[in-house]
């Protein structure tokens, strides 16, 4: 029942977080009013390429071939020219915006009326002031755009052919959608950055290896996501990434993979929960390191086999990691369950994204924003899991400290902790100039209990007596087991008379105590010696020795009694 109560608030929080963030994603997909239809015509590639002046001045308009496809794909061998026209005059209340989807890291040059001056669009531009975000490559067209009036687009060659889709949108609508895009990407990146920052603060204190792996892989994933959205090029110093071109996101994705798997191994405790599968997962990390070196090379993005091999290996390792975590969760791995909650949405969205790319489908907004959403969600959940891991580690540490200082049978202080605390109590009593009393307690005829009823009954008797003594002590007093059936109680601020009074209460409580164990009911008694802290030369060992001497006298005098140390009793202190 306690576990259910503990997990219920977490489950409610996770559900509310997922719903709230996904509502923002759905908000990014407003319904679009009808716009003039773009008609696409392509200019066949020739060698040598056509001159720009000939194209933009209409000399080659008769050579453009109308296309039934709404896309303007690039080519891997040479640049391509497209001629875009509308089927009706533009009659919107604000100027039209021509945008291109899917042109990440491909240079486009737009020649639009009336002057047909070149306007270069590039995802990784760092110079100048940009009117729009990098969500799409976009340029404003004239308000009086007429049907059939051409817009020429030159698309540079690239290593891979991509489906680039032009679209015409009214300025006000485009700016509203662009603002929503900026808000969402900033939100998701801010969530990830905040979680990374929190983990770094924890690492500065704990220096835990699992935190190092989390910071590493989460940082690389954040950089990868910002490279894919282009927002990273708005940051100072991002120009150093421009020469890497399309290799930049590939590089950071490759670097994040082994750190991610290392984090999974440590965070989910896979080496203990599923050792064989974890060993294989550990081996699967290493191919990513040479892959990162190869991707750094300029020829890498032109090698389809390398890219396809990386994608295949990444999918295999991801599925193996997922299976290993599921196996650990099935074996009641608490951290593995945390990670599954965090990781499953990201895995599902990744698989859908791969299907969308392979089938060359348009990227819907829910999938476009769903992936960074799942990354932000994963960071939040993993951070909660790290906090839970730290909390359990602290509890285990506190339990270890408790066990180190307490007797395993009775739960009171053990002898080592007792003596250490007595030294501190003596020092404090002298600083405060207050009295200090010590009770040395010994159960009467305890050996006969063990001999007659057995050690299990004897242990039950010790636990019952220790609990009864503790009940009669004051909140400021403390009790320790000195050895066997002997206990020591320290009474800070107590005079001899106070100590005798407390001791008498304890003696009476034990005398009337009935211990029930293994079908046996028995009673016992206890003898006590009292010693009071003397002058400034008195030590803990001397105090214990005087209390022990008084205890010996109580035993000699007939047991079941309390006796003060003789010099103190004689002087009446």
| Tens of pLDDT, residues 452-498 | 888 899 999 999 999 999 999 999 999 999 989 999 999 999 999 99
List C-alpha distances in Å: 212 to 140, 197, 218, 443, 538. Answer: 46, 12, 10, 55, 52
DSSP H or E segment with residue 515: strand 515-517
Whether residues 356 and 442 fall in one domain = no
Residues 274 and 136 in one domain: no
**DSSP H/E element including 198:** helix 171-206
Q: Which of 349, 367, 397 is the last residue of a domain?
A: 397
**Which strand (E) or helix (H) includes residue 8?**
helix 2-27
Q: Residue 187 domain-assigned?
A: no
Contact 449, 457 (CB under 8 A): yes
CATH number of the domain bearing residue 564? 3.30.70.270
SS (H, E, C) 360-397: CCCCCHHHHHHHHHHHHHHHHHHHHHHHHHHHHHHHHH
Q: What is the CATH number of the domain that holds 85?
A: 2.60.40.2380
| Residue 194 covered by a domain | no
* Statement to judge: residues 90 and 118 lie in one domain: yes
Total count of domains within the chain = 3
Tokens of 112: 């639009």
For residue 184, being part of any structural domain is answered with no
The answer on 243 and 106 residing in a single domain is no
Residue 201 in domain: no
Distances (CA, A) of 16 to 20, 138, 188, 553: 6, 36, 16, 70
Helix intervals (H) in 207-333: 209-229, 247-267, 270-273, 275-283, 288-296, 304-330
**Are 426 and 286 members of one domain?**
no
User: pLDDT value at position 565?
Assistant: 86
Last residue of a domain, one of 147, 173, 199: 173
Let me know if residue 203 belongs to a domain.
no
Asked if residue 60 is part of any domain, the answer here is yes
| Residue range(s) defining the domain that contains residue 559 | 415-571
Same domain, 225 and 315: yes
* One domain for residues 255 and 330: yes
Q: Is the pTM of this model over 0.75?
A: no
Answer yes or no: is 379 within a domain. yes
Domain end marker among 122, 146, 173: 173
DSSP 534: -
Q: Is residue 239 included in any domain, yes or no?
A: yes
Cα(88)–Cα(171) distance, integer angstroms:
17
Q: Are residues 453 and 392 in the same domain?
A: no
Name the nearest CA neighbour of 482 among 395, 557, 545.
Answer: 545
The Cα 106–Cα 153 span in angstroms is 12
> Kind of pairing, strands 165-170 and 436-443?
unpaired
User: What whole-number distance in Å separates Cα of residue 169 and Cα of residue 564?
Assistant: 98
CA distance 564 to 408: 30
For the chain of 573 residues, list the mean pLDDT of each consecutive stretch of 10: 49 64 58 71 81 89 90 84 92 91 89 92 79 90 92 87 89 92 91 92 86 93 89 86 82 90 92 92 90 72 66 86 91 86 83 76 84 87 82 81 87 92 92 93 90 89 94 93 93 93 94 88 92 86 93 93 72 39
**Are residues 278 and 392 part of one domain?**
yes
Same domain? 227 vs 368: yes
* pLDDT (0 to 100) of residue 301: 55
Same domain, 520 and 472: yes
221: left (phi over 0), alpha (psi -120 to 50) or beta: alpha
Q: Mark whether 392 and 473 lie in a shared domain.
A: no
């Amino acid at each position: 029942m306690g576990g259910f109560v503990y997990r219920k608030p977490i489950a409610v929080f996770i559900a509310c977080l997922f719903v709230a963030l996904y509502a923002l994603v759905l908000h990014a997909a407003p319904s679009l009013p009808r716009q003039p239809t773009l008609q696409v015509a392509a200019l066949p590639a020739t060698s040598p390429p056509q001159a720009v002046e000939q194209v933009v001045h209409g000399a080659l308009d008769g050579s453009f071939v109308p296309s039934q496809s709404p896309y303007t794909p690039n080519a891997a061998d040479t640049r391509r020219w497209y001629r875009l026209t509308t089927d009706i005059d533009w009659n919107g209340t604000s100027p039209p915006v021509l945008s291109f989807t899917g042109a990440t890291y491909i240079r486009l040059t737009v020649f639009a009326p009336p002057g047909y001056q070149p306007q270069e669009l590039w995802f990784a531009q760092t110079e100048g002031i940009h009117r729009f975000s990098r969500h799409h490559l976009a340029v404003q067209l004239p308000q009086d755009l007429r049907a059939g009036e051409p817009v020429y687009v030159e698309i540079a060659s690239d290593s891979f052919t991509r489906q680039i889709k032009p679209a015409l949108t009214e300025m006000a609508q485009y700016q509203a959608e662009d603002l929503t895009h900026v808000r969402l990407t900033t939100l998701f990146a801010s969530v990830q950055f905040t979680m990374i920052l929190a983990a770094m603060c924890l690492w500065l204190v704990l220096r835990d290896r699992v935190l190092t792996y989390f910071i590493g892989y989460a940082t690389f994933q954040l950089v990868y996501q910002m490279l894919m959205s282009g927002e990273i090029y708005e940051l100072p110093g991002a120009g150093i990434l421009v020469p890497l071109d399309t290799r930049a996101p590939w590089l950071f994705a490759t670097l994040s993979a082994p750190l991610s798997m290392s984090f999974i191994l440590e965070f989910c405790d896979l080496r203990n929960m599923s050792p064989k599968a974890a060993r294989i997962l550990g081996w699967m990390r290493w191919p990513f390191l040479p892959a990162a070196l190869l991707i750094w090379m300029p020829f890498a993005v032109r090698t389809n086999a390398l890219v396809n091999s990386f994608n295949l290996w990444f999918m295999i390792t991801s599925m193996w990691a997922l299976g290993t975590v599921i196996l650990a969760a099935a074996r009641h791995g608490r951290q593995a369950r945390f990670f599954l909650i965090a990781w499953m949405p990201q895995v599902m969205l990744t698989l859908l994204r791969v299907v969308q790319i392979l089938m060359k489908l348009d990227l819907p907004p829910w999938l476009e924003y769903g992936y960074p959403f799942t990354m932000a969600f994963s960071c939040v959940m993993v951070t909660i899991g790290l906090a839970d891991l730290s909390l359990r580690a602290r509890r285990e540490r506190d339990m270890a400290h408790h066990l180190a200082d307490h007797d395993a049978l009775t739960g009171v202080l053990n002898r080592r902790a007792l003596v250490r605390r007595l030294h501190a109590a003596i020092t404090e009593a002298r600083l405060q100039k207050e009295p200090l009393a010590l009770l040395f307690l010994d159960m009467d005829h305890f050996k006969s209990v063990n001999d007659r009823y057995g050690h299990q009954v004897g242990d039950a008797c010790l636990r019952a007596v220790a609990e009864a003594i503790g009940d009669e002590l004051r909140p400021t007093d403390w009790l320790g087991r000195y050895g066997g059936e002997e206990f020591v109680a320290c009474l800070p601020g107590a005079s001899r008379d106070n100590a005798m009074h407390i001791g008498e209460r304890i003696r009476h409580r034990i005398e009337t105590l009935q211990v029930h164990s293994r079908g046996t009911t028995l009673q016992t008694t206890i003898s006590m010696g009292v010693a009071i802290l003397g002058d400034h030369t008195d030590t803990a060992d001397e105090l214990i020795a005087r209390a022990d001497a008084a205890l010996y006298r109580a035993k000699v005098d007939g047991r079941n009694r309390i006796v003060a140390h003789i010099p103190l009793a004689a002087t009446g202190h």
